[in-house]
Amino acid sequence: MTRYEEVASVLRERIEHGLYRVGDRLPSIRAVCQELDVSISTAQEAYRQLMDASLIESRPKSGYFVLPRQVPLVLPSVSRPARRPLDISQWDQVLELVAATQRDDTRLLLGRGVPNLAYDTLKPLSKILSGLHRSNDLNGFNYDKLNGSPELRQQVARLATASGCLLHPDDIIITTGCQEALAISLRTLTQPGDVVAVDSPSFYGTMQILKANGLKALEIPTDPQTGISLEALELALEQWPIRAIQVTPTYNNPIGYTMPEARKRALFQLAQRFDVAIIEDDIYGDLAFTHPRPRTVKSFDKDGRVLLCSGFSKTVGPGLRVGWLAPGRYSDLALHMKYVSTGASATLPQLAVAEFVAKGYYERHLRYAIRQYQRQRDIMISWVQRYFPRGSGISYPQGSFLLWVELPAAVDCVSLNERLVKHAIYVAPGSLFSASGKYRQCLRLNYAFTLTPAIERAVRTVGELASEMVREARQHEVEET
């Protein structure tokens, strides 16, 4: 972090903790310089950053003031999904999202879960790959080990310590993306017809695995700040024959919460009491705005019942398809599932990522990307506050690059997307994230983009069309009465 970013971060925290309240005047540039022992230009740059993020404004000749947050930072207090196991639907919508690619789609895909791939800190990976291919004796075209390259598994084990996990390289299976880790985990634990408890809303990719395997989703109410409701989960475990609990407890996709450590521990204990396995999706876990990064549920795992799924798709790049799975006590069966799924994973991407991590490039890239994402989160939030209909709820993630917005009930985001077609913009409608098509008034936005004026215009267009829908609904109500 540069010095001015540190200063901005200190001030931001004070605002977030209410030390400076809405409308308060902030300390003068000079006061900040003295207190934090920085130069005037550093303090000025920090204030400029906070203005960019719409956290403060400057009033001529008066100083800097804390701006009101116009909307609550959280979503409906707790989601209210159906109370019984459901078959999954929504594949058509998911297909529309995942079939779109940045490479050949002329639309602006505001809703995709792809990191920023334009940062220079990624370039060493290209160089490593290029070198591997140049120097190679063609043995890189041969199979790697079924459970993955030893070099990469060693680096993964090392990285996992940051989340409180002590894994041996042999506890890890390299997969073809985190998607394969999730698919293997579910196939390892379940038979068709089984019930799987999931946080709700929930990542559509996992939901579609349930669908493909004939599993039923029991969506558990989820708090947008603390995650899956343990009370509701306990009731569900008493009532239904749940085979596995699938959660994304850190920088949840889509709604952004991170379960507090105590609740992660309690989740593990609950699973232990009911003797059920946990599939933990930690794909966003390394993108922490705080240090150290949050612990995983796996870090509390005493008896191998947590299958931890992660990978490098959200940090390094999804097109490499390098994921991993720590399957705990299910390792034999999981390895069989890995074999029948795709055999060994591709050799060269594994070697390249291993070198990228071993040489410190990964952590350097992560530090840079995180800084950008944190800044961009605030900018994107300020745009949503400015352009979206009044009353829209917005998440406030402490990591990753996904924002969850809840619009007024009158807005159906599937229809919104249809209106956006002629503007060549695409958002991810909330119904993707539900077994039963709920959350239609919600959408997911990606703030990993380099936030250009064109993106701002797009967010504004989304907001305007949503407002139009709100007005139409109101008009309709008036006409009805």
- Contacts (CB under 8 A) with a copy of itself, residues 327-356: 335-337, 339-349
Q: Are 263 and 226 in contact (CB under 8 A)?
A: yes
Does 264 engage in binding with a copy of itself (CB under 8 A)?
Answer: no
Question: Using the rule CB under 8 A, which residue among 125, 247, 271, 276 binds a copy of itself?
Answer: 125
Q: Where are the beta strands (DSSP E) in 383-441?
A: 393-394, 402-406, 425-426, 428-429
Tokens of 277: 């396995």
**Can you list the pairs that 55-62 forms with residues at least 24 positions away whose Cβ atoms lie under 8 Å?**
55/12, 55/15, 55/378, 55/382, 56/15, 56/26, 62/25
- Taking only Cα atoms into account, the Rg of the chain, rounded to an integer number of angstroms, comes to 23
Question: Using the rule CB under 8 A, which residue among 21, 118, 452, 478 binds a copy of itself?
Answer: 118
Q: How far is the CB of 296 from a copy of itself (least distance, A)?
A: 22
Q: How many residues bind a copy of itself (CB under 8 A)?
A: 71
Question: Using the rule CB under 8 A, which residue among 129, 172, 218, 232 binds a copy of itself?
Answer: 129
Map the footprint of a copy of itself across residues 383-402, applying CB under 8 A. none
Question: Using the rule CB under 8 A, which residue among 205, 285, 389, 393 binds a copy of itself?
Answer: 205
Does 406 engage in binding with a copy of itself (CB under 8 A)?
Answer: no
Does 72 engage in binding with a copy of itself (CB under 8 A)?
Answer: no
Does 451 engage in binding with a copy of itself (CB under 8 A)?
Answer: no
Q: How far is the CB of 217 from a copy of itself (least distance, A)?
A: 14
Torsion of CA 172, 176, 182, 186, to 10 degrees: -90
Q: How far is the CB of 95 from a copy of itself (least distance, A)?
A: 7
How many other C-beta atoms are found inside a 10 Å radius of the C-beta of residue 29? 18
Nearer to a copy of itself among residue 82 and residue 146 (C-beta): 146
From the list 323, 294, 314, 348, the residue with the least C-alpha distance to 175 is 323
Rounded to the nearest angstrom, the gap between the alpha carbon of residue 2 and the centroid of all alpha carbons in its chain is 25
Q: Which stretch binds a copy of itself (CB under 8 A): 25-33, 61-69, 125-133, 234-242?
A: 125-133
Strand partners, 244: 196, 277
Map the footprint of a copy of itself across residues 180-199, applying CB under 8 A. 180, 183, 187, 191-192
Rounded to the nearest angstrom, the gap between the alpha carbon of residue 287 and the centroid of all alpha carbons in its chain is 9
Does 169 engage in binding with a copy of itself (CB under 8 A)?
Answer: no
Q: How far is the CB of 372 from a copy of itself (least distance, A)?
A: 15
What single string gives the DSSP state of each residue in 305-342? -EEEEEESTTTT-GGG--EEEE-GGGHHHHHHHHHHHH
Map the footprint of a copy of itself across residues 275-334, applying CB under 8 A. 316-321
Q: Are 322 and 345 in contact (CB under 8 A)?
A: yes
Q: Are 252 and 274 in contact (CB under 8 A)?
A: no
Q: How far is the CB of 14 from a copy of itself (least distance, A)?
A: 37
3-state SS, residue 214: coil
Does 8 engage in binding with a copy of itself (CB under 8 A)?
Answer: no
Does 151 engage in binding with a copy of itself (CB under 8 A)?
Answer: no
Map the footprint of a copy of itself across residues 216-255, applying CB under 8 A. none
Question: Using the rule CB under 8 A, which residue among 140, 164, 260, 437 binds a copy of itself?
Answer: 140
* 261 burial type by CB count under 10 A (0-12 exposed, 13-18 middle, 19+ buried): middle
Nearer to a copy of itself among residue 18 and residue 214 (C-beta): 214
Map the footprint of a copy of itself across residues 73-112, applying CB under 8 A. 91, 94-95, 98-99, 101-104
Does 211 engage in binding with a copy of itself (CB under 8 A)?
Answer: yes
Nearer to a copy of itself among residue 36 and residue 98 (C-beta): 98
Between strands 402-406 and 306-311, the pairing is unpaired
